[in-house]
Amino acid sequence: MLPTARLFIAVPAADEVRRAAARLIAELRLSGADFKWVEPENLHLTLRFFGATPLERLPEIESLMGKAARRPRFAVSFGPVGAFNSWEDPKVLWVGVGQGAAELAALAESLGASAEGRPFSAHLTIGRRRGRGGGERLKAAARRAGFPELRQEVDRIVLFESRLTAQGPAYSIRKEESFLS
């Protein structure tokens, strides 16, 4: 069996975005909803998830990243808090992307994200449901807390390796590609 690594390409969240998300998560925890909250240092905009990938594919993925990074930097803005599937049945909580969403979608497509079979939706995942209950309190807490209108420059993409641990995922950087100046 070939050695594998659990890989994904993403844009890391800026420090200011992480701090705002940490405050939001602290507010949402008070709702008592049974969610696994993302550690702020792990926040990112996923562009393409590969899953368990044979390490022999690394040169191919790195080449793909190099081609995708031949673009100018651009800004994204973060906006409202939302939920997949819906607020009535929230499985994943996220912070949306306003400005820059189209550029992120084009970047994701250049990395082959369309091959994953679902449309790209730019967002920062902040929590995943573990159990039932607390949905209405969670929705009310999200409305009260909100998320500040923050902007971030997107100037690079990162290939992360994700190792699943009992405490949650641990990410390490395998490769970075900077955009054009």
User: Which residues participate in catalysis according to the annotation?
Assistant: 44, 123
Q: Report strand pairing: 156-165 vs 150-154.
A: unpaired
For residue 61, give the 3-state DSSP assignment: helix
CB 107 within 8 A of CB 179: no
Angle of helix 101-110 versus helix 58-68 axis, rounded to 10: 140
Q: Is 15 exposed, middle or buried (0-12, 13-18, 19+ CB in 10 A)?
A: exposed
* Residue 180 per-residue DSSP state: B
